[in-house]
Amino acid sequence: MVAASLEFTMVRIRTVWVTLLATCAVGVGSCQSATPPPVGLRVLLRLAPDAATPLAPADSAAAIERMVSASARVPVTYVAASGSQWHAVLLQCDPDACEAALARLTADTTRFSGVQRDELRRP
């Protein structure tokens, strides 16, 4: 009687584990396909001395994002700071539009003293 009860319990535990593993496998697979990689061009830019107004730390990323987006005329996502003047941003556009946006950023010398592709990182 005890052996049958123990065997029944082991079968139930095994069934629970198999169900749990199957659920996790399906969940992980759906999560991986749900988020497409970002499309665009990652750019490093150096703020011009006149454009680098004192910004509140909480607002500096948002302010830089707005400034770059206005100049590039494409949506921009702020990625990270690299010192007080250099910043990495992601231009959200297709390859042709990104090339034009990069040219506009390079031409905007009143806001940016340096603009270059971030060749070490991909979006």
pLDDT 10s digits, 2-41? 555 656 555 566 665 556 555 655 555 555 556 655 679 9
Q: Are 67 and 53 in contact (CB under 8 A)?
A: no
Average pLDDT, the chain: 78
Q: 41-117, what's its fold?
A: Alpha-Beta Plaits (3.30.70)
What does the pLDDT read at residue 77? 95
Q: Edge-to-edge strand order for the sheet containing 112-117?
A: 76-82, 86-91, 41-47, 112-117
Q: What is the pLDDT of residues 38-87, one digit of tens each?
A: 679 999 999 988 765 555 554 688 999 999 999 999 999 999 988 777 99
pTM for the structure as a whole = 0.64
pLDDT at 120: 77
85 forms bridges with which residues in the sheet? none
- What local confidence, expressed as pLDDT, does residue 72 receive? 96
